[in-house]
Amino acid sequence: MKLLLGVYSAIHAFMAALFAMAAVMLIVIAARMAWAAFVNELDASSAETIIEAMGLLAAAVVALQISQTIAEEEVIRDAHISAPTRVRRFLSRFMVVIVVAVAVEALVATFKAREAPSLLLYAAATLCSVGVILAGWGLFVRLNRYAEELEPEAMAEAKREDAKLK
């Protein structure tokens, strides 16, 4: 069984490396786009290009955060996500980057809607989805807090696992 768990850790490490490489590629593409916009005439299309580059950077942050979370939770800590504390902490790390990425996408869509008003509904829906995600996440954290109070030993174990990262 320990061999199988070692294989899982190796697969998780490989996946973390792939997410990190994807993040680096997105960063390079965003930098090239921003540089091209910078050396060209600084106008509305350059602003749109830079905002699209920001969207790529937000996606890179998501990929990098996923990479870091997989590496920390599944490889370094070798944590098994079962306790409410661990679930909340694991999901919260993802939710932060998801909310930021969707908010940046809403910003990009808003700028595109200036030229094509038909996209305004998409921009508004994307922005509303940020609010829905935040509200759902807040409700989850609130309800999860009650479950954590039932298992104080899970919180203590999660804190001990954090020591592996120092």
Segment 74-89 shows an average pLDDT of: 69
Domain residue spans of the chain: 2-165
pLDDT in tens, 6-65: 898 899 999 999 999 999 999 999 999 999 999 988 887 888 888 889 888 988 988 998
64 against 153, higher pLDDT: 64
- The mean of the pLDDT values for the chain is 84
85 against 142, higher pLDDT: 142
Q: How far is CA 38 from CA 47, 107, 142, in A?
A: 9, 20, 45
pLDDT in tens, 107-147: 888 888 888 888 899 999 999 999 999 999 999 888 887 77
Q: Are 47 and 136 in contact (CB under 8 A)?
A: no
Segment 53-82 shows an average pLDDT of: 81
> Tokens 């768990």 — which residue?
5
Instruction: Please give the Cα distance from 164 to 166 (Å, whole number).
Output: 6
